[in-house]
Homo-oligomer: A and B are copies of this chain.
Amino acid sequence: MGQSFKLEKFIPYRLMVAAETVSMGFSVTYKEQFGMSRPEWRVLASLAQLQHATAKDIAAHSSMHKTKVSRAVFELEKRKWLLRKLDETDRRMEHLSLTKPGVAVHAKLVVHATAYQAKLLAVLGVNTSDQLLTMLNKLEGLHADHW
């Protein structure tokens, strides 16, 4: 008899495929319309949400490695969508905030993000989408102690 292990029933695999599919669906927006990468989009979204934060804050909030954040911040700064300001009392850290153009780009992306989210909710069924987030919560907590 053949093996009974089926890749398509394996949750790590299925979750990754779904994540890539869904992520790709939205990435065309920030890529093609604004030439942004996913890390840049995440930093933009985090910073808009936190209003004012350090790179470390953003890394925690957006689940990204600090080097990814560092590179994304650099790019956003280059586009003048983001401003750095050294902390006066602890000069190791810098406070980040969006510029007016940065806020504007974010606002436009949020329109698309919200529309895309609505499409996803429609596909899932509005009632079940909360269940999905609940499940994802549980899964993300799996290795919480390793971090």
Contact = CB atoms under 8 A, between A and B. Distances in A.
Nearest to A123: B138
Interface string A107-143: 1001001101101110110001101110110111111
The A interface, classified by DSSP as helix, strand, loop or mixed, is helix
A45 B2 CA distance: 12
B14 A133 contact: yes
A104 interface: no
Interface residues of A, number: 57
A19 interface: yes
A16 B19 contact: yes
Interface string A9-28: 11111111111111111100
A48 B136 contact: no
Given A11-B120, A25-B12, A113-B10, A5 B45 contact: yes
B7 A12 contact: no
Identical chains in the assembly: 2
Contact of A136 (B14, B23, B62): B14
B106 A3 contact: yes
A37 interface: no
A107 B5 CA distance: 9
Given A11-B120, A12-B116, A117-B11, A21 B138 contact: no
A26 B2 contact: no
